[in-house]
Amino acid sequence: MRAEPGAAYVEFNLSPSNQWAAYQFDGYRSGLTVAQGVELVELRQGEGVNDGRYGLTAMLDLEDRPGLPLNAPWHLGLSAVIEETNGAKSYWALAHAPGKPDFHHPDAFAHYLAAVEPA
């Protein structure tokens, strides 16, 4: 996700194994650092795991996250890489950039989140 305006963004990688990571980028695939101060509050599997569906709920504490001010609109890119038991992979996203899958491309940040109203 990224705030507007600007090229900096934060990437959160979540997985069914409960492994996770957060990275900060200064721009398109540049300036990669491990995002500090991000706390994973909850990561749990959803209902339907046994009937062929999978759900994942994650709650992240993003207060005081550099580059993602709460009083600014955000652009969010949701994506998934699915690997089947036979090794086949498929790539899913709200929007794909032209060409091969690239979740870092600005076109992938397709969902707009309005700024949080002060309490």
Q: Which of 84, 87, 88, 92 lies closest to 108, judged by CA?
A: 92
Torsion angle defined by CA atoms of residues 17, 18, 22 and 28, in that order, rounded to the nearest 10 degrees: 40
Answer whether residue 118 is part of any domain. no
Residue-wise pLDDT for 17-60, tens only, equals 777 888 989 888 998 998 877 776 666 655 555 666 667 777 77
What are φ and ψ of residue 76, in 5° steps? -120, 135
- Which structural domain range is residue 20 located in? 2-113
Q: Which of 11-15, 40-44, 85-89 has the lowest mean pLDDT?
A: 40-44
Answer whether residue 119 is part of any domain. no
Q: Which of 99, 98, 93, 97 lies closest to 111, judged by CA?
A: 93
> Can you tell me the mean pLDDT for 64-85?
84
Answer whether residue 74 is part of any domain. yes
What are φ and ψ of residue 20, in 5° steps? -155, 160
Find the largest Cα–Cα distance for the chain. 50
Count of structural domains, the chain: 1
